[in-house]
Structure 1
């Protein structure tokens, strides 16, 4: 199990970043990562031989994020709204608006948009991670961008997709 500990220790920051971008909440990100590495531990003997281990683990995390809405406890909230965060950066308002809009997009579309635009992954890799056809990734991207356009306005989405 030393190789498991070594792998998880090395990949923990990247997993947490992905979970945070998907969920928009540091505590939810911690929970997603914890659930993912726990599942990884249980399957480690088999999984460690995977050809693309990082891609496999990233898939586990994204699927955990997508599937968590089906669980009843995911609807339990301690607060009516998350506490406001203060960031010293100038683009805080824009990032907050994008994060809030992204949270209102269906989970699979969120995952596709995050993997395509925040992680700059090609359509084929996103399809493999999500276990869907490339056409599904393309349509989910189009639907997700259309939803963001409705929520944010055309200019903001255009800037986001051009920065890619």
Structure 2
């Protein structure tokens, strides 16, 4: 078994989880694929050290967040619609909540969005989130507080869901 075999096994085992994180960060399936692919291309170059250090998933998740924040610093045209798609007979309130939440998440700062994704969708503790973001636990708490307040102001219709931070990730 060569060093790349461990990397292949890691990617096969964790790809869906990492892709979900990338999607929640970017809000776009194609950008998420690009983000994950670019991060995995970098991780494979450091794989012997990363795998030896013992937590390749945490390293890769941190790399996803860092790359996402780096991408957000570069101006890119966004193709967002100002209106929610019309619903017909197959109206699904949970789907509408997901659309509204996704649009509100897109308007958060990259670090606020990363905190929300890591805390509520990835279900990381404040300490784990702080470790991934390389910041203090107090910073995570502050970013989370400000992000939830901003989500409440951007999407008041999600108020009941956002009133209890533990339910933010429920509409996955």
TM-score by length of structure 1 reads 0.86
Distance 1:30 1:141 in 2: 26
Matched, 1:107 2:110: yes
1:163 aligns with 2:167: yes
Rounded to whole Å, the distance in 1 between the matches of 2:92 and 2:43 is 36
1:22 paired residue number = 25
How large is the RMSD of aligned CA atoms in angstroms? 2.3
d(CA) in 2 for partners of 1:5 and 1:105?
A: 34
- Deviating 4+ runs (over 3 angstroms): 79-82, 86-90
Q: 1:132 maps to which residue?
A: 135
Provide Cα deviations, 1:2-41, integer angstroms capped at 9, x if missing partner. 1111211221111111111111110011011101100101
Q: How many residues align?
A: 159
Query: Shift in Å at residue 96 of structure 1?
Result: 0.4
Gaps of 5+ in 1: none
How far residue 46 of structure 1 moved from its aligned partner, in angstroms, is 1.5
User: What's the TM-score once normalised by structure 2's chain length?
Assistant: 0.83
Match of 2:100 in 1: 97
Q: Can you give the 5+ residue segments of structure 2 that lack an aligned partner in the other structure?
A: none
